[in-house]
Amino acid sequence: MSWEEAFARARAEAKPLLLVLTAPWCHWCRVLEAEGLADPGIAALVERAFVPVEVNADLRPDIHDRYNLGGLPTVAVLAPDGALLAGSTFLPAADLRRLLEEAERRWRSEPGAIAEETARQARLRARWAGTPPRPGLEPAVVDRTLAFLRASFDPEEGGFGLSPKFPHPDALRFLLAIHSFTGDDALARIARRSLDALATGGLWDAAEGGFFRYSPARDWSRPHTEKLAAENARLAVTFLEAVQALGEPRYREHGRATLRFLLERLSLDEAAFAASVAADEAYYRLPLDARREEEPPAVDPTVYADANARVAAALLLGAAVLGEPAWEDRAVRVLGRLERLAPPAGAPLAHALLDGRPALPGLLRDQVAALAALVEAYQATGEEAWLDWGRHLADWLGETLRDPEAGGFLDRPPEAAPGYLGDRLTPLGANAEAALALRDLAWLTGEERYREWGEAALRALAPRAETARLWGASYALAVALWDQEPVEITVFGAPTAAETRALRRAADALYLPGKLVCPVGEGAPALVLCAGGVCFPPLEDPRALAEVVAQLPR
């Protein structure tokens, strides 16, 4: 039953909905299904008193972002207008039965209280959506975020906070960038300790490769063993940037290993990647030899636009940093396949490819991940087609998802939809990522409107960033980069010439946060680096670039 059909039936039958948010990789979702929802007494209760609707959170992130109650699975009882009446994450069968019985009792005997609650939620949601933007950017968010990361850093076990432990790649990338600007070795120590904990602790599967999603324990042990393509791509980028920023050989090998996991375990063909590998704690407790005798955990073969765009971006960086030119070609093929998720005009991208057909077009997360990857692909290859497609995506963002009054980007098109889907969400991380991609696009195209849209998004999200803490690191990085004139590296020469490609890869391999590589598809192969209003003499040998960079002021 679809989302829309469930709400129509709930209204027609005057019943509450029972929403179950799940995911193919989620172990406790399977337990809930087998031991809770399949229980004959609970199944009969659901059939009698509720309209059930199960939602794949990966396929419908817009629903997940509005109704997730702290993890998967989420069980939520909703009024026919979508208001949340009761809910929880995983519950044993007895507790699930009690929650549903109490919800049924309240629905039958307390209609006035339920009507009051739905009205209260509507008022709160309207007030939250109306937060006014700030008149300008506030650099203080950078210092606030740094202070929080310092305070929450776990010096004994690495990472941030005590438990549960998540990788937080955005926070680590933020620390690396600010270290490069300031030379603050304390930030480098936090990043090193955390990266080492990720590489050698329980989150990394030393037998088969790939990062698990998170650990409930401070020391990274007993991880929840699902492996997600998008998260592994983000961690690959983090380790590769650590290679660039810190020069640690061990991070080079770990970045390579993470990309190899994606290529070997989640590759569907030469141009697409699967979404995830399911959790299976019993399997992952076995040594590699014993695993070979067991059925491996299932792979979800769904092709998601945002995940594939992130894998493509990670492969592009890996090609430059690790000297793997074949990975650049692979990334280009992945981006080419993503065109099947877009109409002929190039926008908007659909979220998923299901049975060969695009599904759920227009989510912000997909447009932004693809835009960022296209900007990187243009810089890496010099192919104008990637920049043209990036323009199409950016223009669609500006025309359809941009809030012209508040300035931020909405997470989905502003169209009528049941439940909380009608709420206007402007996610902090996606808006920060959009702002940086639009800033780069403005520099590369000379179209100032892209920069204006990006800055308006950062202003609109400033109030939210004040309390975002760890989750606001990507926003803080965008603010830190915003008013800096980027180091600009212009690469001359035919795009496909070996000498030109070598110069572009040398430029891509440099760690200069916010830098831009500007391909010029003519002239003899050469590279010109400009920074702070000064341009250095042209270089023909990519090995000489490091000497020029060493002369740049910190």
Q: What is the pLDDT of residues 474-495, one digit of tens each?
A: 999 999 999 889 999 999 999 9
Give pLDDT tens digits for 277-299. Answer: 999 999 999 999 999 999 999 99
The domain locations on the chain are: 3-129, 488-550
Spatial separation of the C-alpha atoms in residues 385 and 382, rounded to whole Å: 9
| SS3 at position 424 | coil
CB atoms within 10 A of CB 436: 21
Please choose, from the candidates 295, 306, 293, 443, the residue with its C-alpha nearest in 3D space to the C-alpha of residue 367: 306
Spatial separation of the C-alpha atoms in residues 230 and 312, rounded to whole Å: 10
Q: What is the topology classification, in CATH, of domain 488-550?
A: Glutaredoxin (3.40.30)
pTM for this structure?
Answer: 0.96
Give pLDDT tens digits for 236-257. Answer: 999 999 999 999 999 999 999 9
pLDDT category of residue 345 using cuts at 50, 70 and 90: confident
* Contact (Cβ atoms closer than 8 angstroms) between residue 312 and residue 341: no
Between strands 526-531 and 51-56, the pairing is: unpaired
Spatial separation of the C-alpha atoms in residues 328 and 251, rounded to whole Å: 20
Average confidence (pLDDT) over 379-389? 96
Phi-psi region of 61 (alpha: psi -120 to 50; beta: other; left: phi over 0): alpha
Residue 138's pLDDT is what?
Answer: 85
Please choose, from the candidates 109, 100, 110, 111, the residue with its C-alpha nearest in 3D space to the C-alpha of residue 50: 100
Is the Cα torsion angle 508, 511, 514, 516 positive or negative in sign?
negative
Give pLDDT tens digits for 146-167. Answer: 999 999 999 999 999 999 999 9
Residue 130's pLDDT is what?
Answer: 56
Give every strand in the sheet of 51-56, ordered side by side: 51-56, 17-22, 74-78, 84-88
| Residue 172 predicted with pLDDT over 90 | yes
Please choose, from the candidates 487, 405, 387, 404, the residue with its C-alpha nearest in 3D space to the C-alpha of residue 442: 387
Residue with token string 């902090």: 428
302-335: string of b/e by CB count within 10 Å (b at 16+)? bbbbbbbbbbbbbbbbbbbbbebeebbebbbebb
Q: Which CATH number fits domain 3-129: 3.40.50.300, 3.40.50.720, 3.40.30.10, 3.20.20.60?
A: 3.40.30.10
| Residue 65 predicted with pLDDT over 80 | yes
Residue 209, CB half-sphere, CA atoms under 13 Å: how many?
19
333 or 137: which leads in pLDDT: 333
The chain-wide mean pLDDT, for the chain, equals 95
How large a percentage of the chain has pLDDT more than 90?
Answer: 87
pLDDT category of residue 552 using cuts at 50, 70 and 90: confident
Residue 269's pLDDT is what?
Answer: 96
| SS3 at position 326 | helix
Number of residues assigned to the chain:
554
3-state secondary structure 80-131: CCCCEEEEECCCCHHHHHHHHHHHHHHHHHCHHHHHHHHHHHHHHHHHHHCC
118 or 380: which leads in pLDDT: 380
Query: To 10 degrees, the CA torsion angle through 359, 362, 364, 368?
Result: 90
Domain 3-129 matches domain 488-550 at the CATH topology level? yes
Please choose, from the candidates 445, 443, 313, the residue with its C-alpha nearest in 3D space to the C-alpha of residue 368: 313
| Residue 532 predicted with pLDDT over 70 | yes
| Residue 75 predicted with pLDDT over 70 | yes
Spatial separation of the C-alpha atoms in residues 394 and 482, rounded to whole Å: 18
Please choose, from the candidates 416, 210, 194, the residue with its C-alpha nearest in 3D space to the C-alpha of residue 297: 210
Spatial separation of the C-alpha atoms in residues 222 and 201, rounded to whole Å: 10
Q: 298: which DSSP letter?
A: P
Average confidence (pLDDT) over 370-397? 97
512-546: string of b/e by CB count within 10 Å (b at 16+)? bbbbbbbbeeeeebbbbbbbeeeebeebeebeebe
| Element housing 300 (H / E) | strand 299-300
Average confidence (pLDDT) over 514-538? 94
Spatial separation of the C-alpha atoms in residues 189 and 187, rounded to whole Å: 5
pLDDT category of residue 129 using cuts at 50, 70 and 90: low
Residue 137's pLDDT is what?
Answer: 85
Token pair of 451, please?
């920069």
Spatial separation of the C-alpha atoms in residues 82 and 317, rounded to whole Å: 43
Query: To 10 degrees, the CA torsion angle through 82, 86, 89, 92?
Result: -130
Q: 427: which DSSP letter?
A: -
Cα–Cα distances in Å, from 476 out to 403, 462, 472? Answer: 21, 10, 6
Spatial separation of the C-alpha atoms in residues 346 and 207, rounded to whole Å: 41
| Residue 442 predicted with pLDDT over 70 | yes
Please choose, from the candidates 74, 429, 23, the residue with its C-alpha nearest in 3D space to the C-alpha of residue 227: 23
| SS3 at position 452 | helix
* Contact (Cβ atoms closer than 8 angstroms) between residue 442 and residue 454: yes
| Residue 132 predicted with pLDDT over 70 | no
